Each structure stands twice: as C-alpha cells, then as structure tokens.
Structure 1
Amino acid sequence: MDFRYLGNSGLKVSEISYGNWLTHGSQVENEQAKACVKAALEAGITTFDTADTYANTKAESVLGEALEGVRRESVEILTKVYWPTGPGGPNDTGLSRKHIHESINASLKRLKTDYVDVYQAHRYDTETPLEETMEAFADVVRQGKALYIGTSEWTAEQLQEGHRLARELRIPLVSNQPQYSMLWRVIEAEVVPASEELGIGQVVFSPIAQGVLTGKYLPGQQPPEGSRATDEKGGANMITRYLNDDVLTRVQQLKPIAEEAGLSLAQLAITWVLQNPNVSSAIIGASRPEQVTENVKAAGVKLEEGQLKQIDEALGSVIERDPAKTAQNSPQTRPGR
C-alpha cells in the first residue's frame, strides 16, 4: 500500500481507503462486513470512511465493532454529518450547531473511539449560515473530537468560502469527498483547481462507477443476479444512469487497455482516479473480502500517457464533465425522511 498526504496537511492516508456505504448494516451481514474490514487491514489499508446516515447509523456501529482491538493510532477514521438520521425530525438533519454537536457525540459512541481523524460535512447546508456550521466544526476540533475537517460534494465556491472561514477560525479544512471516476469527471474543471489552490485533497467515492466499470454489466443483457443493479435496498437507483447500451458498450472497449496494463477492469478504474495528483485516496467498498484483496492491487500503479489517451477515446461522449453537476446533485433544501 502506498500513502499520500491529505491535502496540504501532515496527515497521511492510504491511497486506497475502505468505505461502508450501501454495505455494512444493510446489504452485508455483520460477520461478512467484519471479514471485509479484516481483509482491508491485511492489505495495508489504514483509512476507513463511513457516515452516520449509512444504514441509518448502523454502518458506523458495524465499523466500530470491526475495528475493536486495532491500535487506534494506526488507522484513520473518517465520518460525516448532514443527511437525516434517527426518526428524521426537523433537527435530525443539516449542519446546524445543534445537529453537528449531537451527531459527533453519537458517531463517536457508535465507532467506539474518542475522536475521528476527519469529520466531514456530507453536503452543503443551504438553510444554515456557513458561519454557524464552521464555528460548530471549530468547537468539535478544539474539543478533540475531530483532528481535521472535510466536506463532501461541495462546489468550488463553497470550498473557497468554507476554507476562508476555517482559516479565520484556525481549524484545518483539508479534504473534499466527491464522486469521481472515468465516467464522472465533473470535479476536474472547477473543484480540483480550487482545491489545489486551497490545499484540499480529494477522497473520492465510486471510482468504479457503482460497479459499471468492472465490466460485469453487458449491453443488451439483464444485470447479473445479486449485483448492485438488482439491489432493492438502494443500490439499484444509484446505478441506473449508467445502464444503457452506449455506456456499457464503451466500457467493454476498456478491456484490452486493462489487459495491456496487467489489470482487471476494476483495478484499471481505481488506478485511473489515482493518476490525478489532487486525489489523496480512492474509496472502495466490498461485499466479500476477496473484492478488497483484488482491488488494492490498483495501489502504486502508474498509467502511461498513451493508456490515458486510449481510455478517453474508448469512453468518448459518455464521459460526464459538466461542473454544474456538483451543485445539481446536492439538495437545495434540507432533506427529511
């Protein structure tokens, strides 16, 4: 495993991290989830990402149990706040001072730890003054409950304003967690340049585009049984936009490129996002330990310029690059259950 600095901070994270969105506490039985975490640790992964909203708090609990007995200082735990938790009452969501303080305390109990390494704003809250949000995050840091602050799916302008307030409050805002893959490149035009200027690193999710970039979904055929596209617990609706013959046909054209590089399609996809120097870590998920073992082989691989050009040519017009998609994919009002 190779390690990278998280933004311009002194914190190093494993360049492949393990996340439990859509798996722990919902799709995957607890013992299997713990086996996946064990496989991640054995593969050299030290960075673990979760959120209070995943499986409505259950994912944090499973991760906390899975990491019991592991030396706390040897791992980096990232969690998030914003989306609804609990019964979804009027203050069970957003980035108000009330919700942030109540959420960090509950997350720490579930994760069985005194602090998280990075506490992330899971989206931008349009209904709470940013000053209130950042002051609450500053309190969390000064109380020793989080070492660093991060965001998720913030626009370039939101990152700039958040970073300005963080500097005034003298707290380290060092990361952003966006969706990023060969197919979804919306951060490249605005978010990445702003982040490079601010010293913010990307911890990217869905590097294999919800499984589409594994090549297992074939044009003209029904999704394989047991795949994310057939999951009624939430996975299916996340992958729908990619399940058209144009996208799936172009993904199949990546196979010779992966073979030339000595990689599986999934490994190629993870390796691809790691070629971006602003990416500090790529999050992988898993429902089986062997998936972790295979995907970590993407660490430390360098793709040649010719291979990157071949990937662009193979995917062509199905690549989404519109920077406006970042804002469009975030709620314009606070969500409720």
Structure 2
Amino acid sequence: MKYRLLGRTGVWVSEISLGTMTFGGKTHPVFGNMGALGQEEVDRVVGTALDAGINFIDTADVYADGESEELLGQAIRRRRRDVVLATKLMAPMGPGPNDMGLSRLHVMRALEDSLRRLGTDHIDLYQIHNYDRITPLEETLSALDDAVRQGKVRYIGCSNLAAWQISKALGISALHNQARFVANQTHYSLVSRDAERDLVPMAEEEGLSLTVWSPLAGGFLSGKFDRGGVTTEQDSRRARVGFDFVPFDEEKGFEVLDVLRTVAARHEVSPARVAIAWLLAQRAVTSVIVGARKLEQLADNIAASDLTLTEQDLAALDEVSRLPVAYPNWIQDSFAPTRIPAGNQA
C-alpha cells in the first residue's frame, strides 16, 4: 500500500481507503440494497483492509441510519490507533426539523451521536456531507472549529460542495483564524470527470486533499454490464438497486468501457482495477474510496495500488473520456501563452 499526505496536515493516509456504505441496513429501504453486511462480515472486511495497509476509513452518520458507524466502531475497537477515521454529517437523522443540516445545534448533536456510535473519543476527519443552503457558513465553521479546539475532532473536511463554496469557506476560516477544510470528498470517475473543471484546480491551489467516492460509477466501470442492461452478475449493487446512483451519459459510458476492457486485457486484470488505477494517476487525488460486500472484490480493488498504467493506457483512457473544455477555461487557456516571453519558455 502507498500513502499520500492529507492536505497540508502532515498526516499520511492510504491511497486506497475503505468506504462503509455496505455496512448494516438489512431492513433499510435504501441501504438494504447496498450490501447490508452484519457484524461478522464487517469484521472480516475491515480486518482484511487493515491487514492490507489501508489506514483510512470513511463512513457517515446517515449510512443505514447510524448502523454503519456502530458496526465500524466495533470492528476497529482494538485497532483504533491504526485508523484515520472519517465520518460525515448533514443528512436527516430523525423526523424533527433540527435533525439535519449544519446549524451549530445539529453539528454538536450529530458529533456526540457519531462519537457514541463509533465508540471513540475523537474523529480524525469530520466532514460536512453536503451544502446547507439555510445555515450561514460562518455558523457551521465556528461550530466545527469549537469541536477541533475541544479535541473531539482532529481535522475538518467537506463533501459534494462546489469549488466556490469551498473557497468561500476557506476564506471565512482564514479571516477568523479557525480550523480550515483539509480535504474534499468528491465524485470522480472515468465517466464523471466534472471535478476537473473547477474542483481539481481549486484543490491544487489551496492544498486540499481530494478523496474520491464512487470511483466505479455505482459499479458500471466494473465491466459487469453490457449495452441493453445485460449483466454478468445479477447480484451486483447496480443490478440490485435498480437505478443509476450516479448520472452519466450511458452511451459514452459504454465507449469508455470498451477502452477500459482493452487496457484491462493488456494487463490481465479487471476493468475495475484499471478504473481505480486511472484515478490514482490523476493530479490532486489523494485517496480513492472503495466499498465491498465480498472479500475478493475488496482484494481486487486494493490491488489497483500496485497497478501502474502506461502512457499508452492513460492516453487511450483520457481520449475516450475527456470532457469538452468549459467556459471560461477555454478562453483563459487561449490567452495564457501570450504572457510568457519567448526566451523564458521551457
């Protein structure tokens, strides 16, 4: 396993991290289709991940209505020091009007609830799960800063925010000398490269880690699906859920999948392993979050850390999946060379 720095913290995290959306929720209407692993299965998955060198584990309070955190807490209780533990808050955790969001009231309640479920006295990376259009960022960041100063949280991060929202938050934190986001968890894959427009350059400019969720586009890039909805594995999450968890152009997706399979055959590995290795080769990516119901699936995903794609592989995958350049990027790019005197060009 290889390790990369978490933002500018000096903390090393594994470039493959373990996601826990498959933990718990056997009778849950949504998470029951994600995996619904019980404690024994969770123990095996977590143990396998830790033994393989993974030290970064991500969960969220909303996963299976808190059961994921409870199962994970039990699984790591004897190896807590081996884990950089991340969880998230924001989504509804009850029927009340204050049982969700990013108000100080809910942040403090959600933090205490997650600490209790995880069986720990601190969370290493506490992330807001989405943007709260009602609560001012100043209130949220002040509450998170208090949690850091109290020692209940080591670092803070965000997920699913736009680049301008993260930049605004960083500015507020700097103005008030508060804890700043050190990481951004975003959706990114060969069929969903939107993050490259603004989030990737923003992360590089601000020194934020970029951690990736759904690197296989909800299982599509596993290569188990063909045109017309035919699948080689009816038990896959994408088949069981019955809808596309992440939206993308499916026809273009199959074009990407054709090239992905060609590259995978060249290396004699699975398409999923290549898709994850491609992400690890992208600038700004710190860690790719993988989730699994089966140990063999987890082992294959972890092995992506040892797969080095050739320049030919990367060029082919980039060509078939590349986004059109958006405004204002294309016009900024057209002007950029004119600012460099001819004698100074490399």
Q: Residues 320 and 24 of structure 1: is their aligned pair in 2 closer, same or farther, counting only changes over 3 Å?
A: farther
One-letter code aligned to 2:187: Q
Partner of 2:159: 152
Alignment partner of 1:177: what SS? Answer: strand
Stretches of structure 2 that go unaligned for 5 or more consecutive residues are: 26-31, 328-346
Partner of 1:335: none
2:173 aligned with 1:173: no
1:88 to 91, 95, 99: 95
CA distance in 2 between partners of 1:58 and 1:80 (Å): 14
2:87 to 79, 93, 105: 79
Matched positions, count: 317
Deviation at 1:246?
Answer: 4.9
Partner of 2:198: 190
1:118 to 121, 125, 150: 125
Alignment partner of 1:123: what SS? Answer: coil
Deviation at 1:21?
Answer: 1.7
User: Deviations along 1:136-164, whole A, 9 cap, x unmatched?
Assistant: 00011011111000000111111111112
One-letter code aligned to 1:208: L
CA distance in 2 between partners of 1:55 and 1:63 (Å): 12
Does the CA-based 8 Å contact 2:17-2:289 persist in structure 1? Answer: yes
Does the CA-based 8 Å contact 2:259-2:316 persist in structure 1? Answer: no
Deviation at 1:294?
Answer: 1.4
Partner of 1:131: 138
- Matching of residues 254-265 of structure 1 within 5 Å: 254-265=260-271
Does the CA-based 8 Å contact 1:15-1:299 persist in structure 2? Answer: yes
One-letter code aligned to 1:7: G
1:52 to 61, 76, 84: 61
CA distance in 1 between partners of 2:301 and 2:324 (Å): 24
Does the CA-based 8 Å contact 1:159-1:195 persist in structure 2? Answer: no
Partner of 2:288: 282
Partner of 2:12: 12
1:62 to 55, 71, 76: 71
Stretches of structure 1 that go unaligned for 5 or more consecutive residues are: 324-337
CA distance in 2 between partners of 1:242 and 1:190 (Å): 18
Q: CA RMSD in A?
A: 2.1
One-letter code aligned to 2:210: Q
1:34 to 43, 50, 53: 43
One-letter code aligned to 1:4: R
One-letter code aligned to 2:81: E
Alignment partner of 1:194: what SS? Answer: helix
State percent identity of aligned pairs: 38
CA distance in 2 between partners of 1:238 and 1:89 (Å): 29
User: Deviations along 1:101-143, whole A, 9 cap, x unmatched?
Assistant: 0001000111111101100010111100110000000011011
Does the CA-based 8 Å contact 1:251-1:314 persist in structure 2? Answer: no
Structure 1 window deviating more from structure 2 (298-307 vs 236-245): it is 236-245
Instruction: Between the two structures, name the one with larger relative contact order (CA 8 Å, sep ≥ 6).
Output: 1
CA distance in 2 between partners of 1:15 and 1:253 (Å): 24
Question: TM-score, normalised on structure 1?
Answer: 0.88
Does the CA-based 8 Å contact 2:142-2:178 persist in structure 1? Answer: no
CA distance in 2 between partners of 1:24 and 1:306 (Å): 41
One-letter code aligned to 2:17: S
2:161 aligned with 1:161: no
CA distance in 2 between partners of 1:322 and 1:37 (Å): 41
CA distance in 1 between partners of 2:229 and 2:130 (Å): 35
2:308 to 288, 302, 325: 302
Deviation at 1:38?
Answer: 1.3
Q: Residues 138 and 240 of structure 1: is their aligned pair in 2 closer, same or farther, counting only changes over 3 Å?
A: closer
Alignment partner of 1:119: what SS? Answer: strand
Q: Residues 114 and 300 of structure 1: is their aligned pair in 2 closer, same or farther, counting only changes over 3 Å?
A: same
Deviation at 1:69?
Answer: 1.2
